[in-house]
Amino acid sequence: MNIKFIKNILPVSAIALTMGLASCDYLDVEPQDPSSISTVDEAGLYTKCYANMALAGNTGANGDCDIDGLDGGTTGFVRQLWNANELPTDEAICAWGDTGIPQFNYNQWDASHPMLQGFYYRLYAGIDYCNHYLEVCAGVDATREAEVRFLRALYYYYLMDCFGNVPFATQISAESPEQIQRADLFNWIEGELLAVKDQMQTPVARKSSDTGYGRADQDAANLLLARMYLNAEVYTGTARWADAQTYAEKVINGPHKLWTGSVNGWSSYQMLFMGDNGENGASQEAILPLLQDGKTTTSWGASLFLMASTWKADMDIDGNFNTTEFWAGNRARSQFVAKFFPNGDAPQTDLNSMPIAAGDDRALFFGKDRELVVTTPSEYTSGYAVGKFRNTYSTGGAGHSSQFIDTDYFLMRSAEAYLIAAEADARLNGGTTTATGTKYMDDIRNRAHASTSLTYSLNQIIDERARELYYEGFRRTDLIRFDMFHSNKYMWEWKGGAQNGASFAAYRDIYAIPAEDMNANPKLTQNNGY
């Protein structure tokens, strides 16, 4: 594809070993005709299709980035997925002045935004790896081929959601790719997922010591279909609520159950986001974990970013955070804290006391010596800190590194399916849940030790999505689906660049195609408004 040059396609040994694969160079070339390739390392290239989401390159956090001219932070998949879908919303705001951060904070990005460009190229790097695998490894392993097709569909899903009408190709070519319309891309992704899901691994709840941990199984395809159907009206103009509920319930009725255990005083919810989440039992909820290890798979753009960017050293009151990285940048806007404290009475207390005050295990805020309302966006203590992700071991013990972290990132987990099914149930029944949808909501809230209700409205459901899925990259998409993102139906501090919030143009519901790709590909038309 006519995008940034991808410098290498070598596998990452730690990812390969964790997934039970052999690790070697992606291509083994015998010294015959220098222009011909004799054998292909199928396992290595397969691994790279996954590693693109967890790592920036092949040599760790401080090595070269796969994408020429950019760095591992700017192109980190998790980091830029988070930035693109959390910073422009009521959930988060960042104190840093790096180019691109204020534009996210104030909903004022354009086609030259460096972090959106990095995210865009990271997604296309993944598509190129998948396309190459499918070209040179066709017929080698049917299950892994189906997984790679799933991963390619997942990369295209994020492009469809964030960038709308995007370049589209299913094979490597020197030709500039054609642009596909958003609704047509939705149909293609749907067709791919339906075609491959039964060929993928049978769903099994796994720990990191189990073979196949970190690989997508059939429930990954079911959950992605449910997610797409939930947003189908945005993407295609036609609602698909019944389909969303059907595919979400396939996940709910499968083996990836909500984790409800507790160890050493850590709540079930906290255990999902801790340094030993691959081993402590919480991974039964993980449908697609991205593997992290402080020694062997290090990155500035994955789980470490989620922790270090949201923490300051004074939050580590127990001294067991297991990393020296405290970047003090991202924290909550007051409208998000109000999801747990609707009366504006969130106390100025620490991470241990806040959930008790809220009556909800998920209220993982730190308010000591901080303002509740963000009056100064560039000041980290202006706004409550969020301590959701950490490298602490729930079972005790130290991390593998004093700097990099071991916390796997659960890109897809089954709690999302419960919330999708509940919302679809409400939308199919006049805006209020039936007994079926109510049970799904109760399951989520009971796990958090929060109070339950006889029924739930759509407004309650979107608030519950915020409480359960915050800082996991869903909020922008949710607000768009509820027509609350650009419009004046819902305001949050610094929305649109105004301290008390202001609506902004509807075209910003979709990001711009990066100017660099527009200049390189004459077949592209820029999204409206940019």
Q: Please write down the HEC assignment for all residues of 2-56.
A: CCCCECCCCCCHHHHHHCCCCCCCCEECCCCCCCCCCEECHHHHHHHHHHHHHCC
pLDDT digits (tens, 9 = 90+) for 89-100: 999 999 999 999
pLDDT of 19 over the 60 cut: no
Where helices occur in 260-406 by DSSP H, the ranges are 268-271, 303-308, 334-337, 354-358
Distance from chain centroid for Cα 265: 27
CB 458 within 8 A of CB 482: yes
In this predicted structure, what is the pLDDT of residue 332? 98
In this predicted structure, what is the pLDDT of residue 56? 87
Q: What is the C-alpha to C-alpha distance for residues 506 and 107, in angstroms, rounded to an integer?
A: 11
Distance from chain centroid for Cα 57: 19
pLDDT digits (tens, 9 = 90+) for 200-225: 999 999 999 999 999 999 999 999 99
Evaluated on CA atoms 431, 435, 436, 441, the torsion sign reads: positive
Distance from chain centroid for Cα 8: 24
DSSP 156: H
In this predicted structure, what is the pLDDT of residue 104? 98
In this predicted structure, what is the pLDDT of residue 68? 83
CB 362 within 8 A of CB 463: no
In this predicted structure, what is the pLDDT of residue 70? 83
Mean pLDDT over the full length of the chain: 92
Q: What is the C-alpha to C-alpha distance for residues 474 and 470, in angstroms, rounded to an integer?
A: 7
Beta bridge partners of 168: 178
- List all residues 6 or more positions away from 466 whose beta carbon is below 8 Å from its beta carbon: 90, 91, 336, 339, 475, 478
In this predicted structure, what is the pLDDT of residue 237? 98
In this predicted structure, what is the pLDDT of residue 34? 42
In angstroms, the Cα distances linking 392 to 78, 193, 264, 292 are 20, 36, 12, 14
pLDDT digits (tens, 9 = 90+) for 451-461: 999 999 999 99
pLDDT of 358 over the 60 cut: yes
pLDDT digits (tens, 9 = 90+) for 220-243: 999 999 999 999 999 999 999 999
In angstroms, the Cα distances linking 288 to 205, 387, 408 are 11, 22, 10
Evaluated on CA atoms 305, 307, 308, 310, the torsion sign reads: positive
pLDDT digits (tens, 9 = 90+) for 444-497: 999 999 999 999 999 999 999 999 999 999 999 999 999 999 999 999 999 999
In this predicted structure, what is the pLDDT of residue 27? 32
pLDDT of 183 over the 50 cut: yes
Strand-strand pairing, 166-168 and 178-180:
antiparallel
Q: What is the C-alpha to C-alpha distance for residues 378 and 375, in angstroms, rounded to an integer?
A: 9
Tokens read off for 296: 């062997």
In this predicted structure, what is the pLDDT of residue 60? 78
DSSP 288: E
Q: What is the C-alpha to C-alpha distance for residues 96 and 500, in angstroms, rounded to an integer?
A: 20
Which one has a higher pLDDT value, 428 or 62?
Answer: 428
Q: What is the C-alpha to C-alpha distance for residues 273 and 393, in angstroms, rounded to an integer?
A: 10
pLDDT digits (tens, 9 = 90+) for 252-285: 999 999 999 999 999 999 999 999 999 999 999 9
In this predicted structure, what is the pLDDT of residue 5? 44
pLDDT of 29 over the 70 cut: no
Domain 1-200+483-521 architecture: Alpha Horseshoe (1.25)
Tokens read off for 65: 């980035």
pLDDT of 31 over the 70 cut: no
How many other CB atoms are found less than 10 A from the CB of residue 186?
A: 24
Q: What is the C-alpha to C-alpha distance for residues 104 and 255, in angstroms, rounded to an integer?
A: 38
Pick the closest to residue 470 from 414, 394, 406, 416 (CA basis). Answer: 416
In this predicted structure, what is the pLDDT of residue 431? 98
Domain positions in the chain are 1-200+483-521
Pick the closest to residue 161 from 509, 516, 519 (CA basis). Answer: 509
Q: Is 415 helix (H, G, I), strand (E, B) or coil?
A: helix
For tokens 């806007």, what's the residue? 333
Q: What is the C-alpha to C-alpha distance for residues 155 and 215, in angstroms, rounded to an integer?
A: 15
Beta bridge partners of 201: 217
Q: What is the C-alpha to C-alpha distance for residues 199 and 144, in angstroms, rounded to an integer?
A: 9
Tokens read off for 242: 């019944």
Give the side-chain half-sphere CA count within 13 A for 444: 28
Burial environment of residue 115 by CB neighbours within 10 A (0 to 12, 13 to 18, 19 or more): buried
pLDDT of 32 over the 90 cut: no
In this predicted structure, what is the pLDDT of residue 23? 27
Give the side-chain half-sphere CA count within 13 A for 294: 21
Beta bridge partners of 432: 457
In this predicted structure, what is the pLDDT of residue 37? 47
In this predicted structure, what is the pLDDT of residue 57? 84
DSSP 284: G
Beta bridge partners of 266: 263
Q: What is the C-alpha to C-alpha distance for residues 109 and 121, in angstroms, rounded to an integer?
A: 17
pLDDT digits (tens, 9 = 90+) for 298-341: 899 899 999 999 999 999 988 899 999 999 999 999 999 999 99
Number of H helices and E strands in the chain, helices first, is 19, 10
pLDDT of 17 over the 90 cut: no
Where helices occur in 55-181 by DSSP H, the ranges are 77-86, 101-105, 114-136, 142-163
In this predicted structure, what is the pLDDT of residue 238? 98
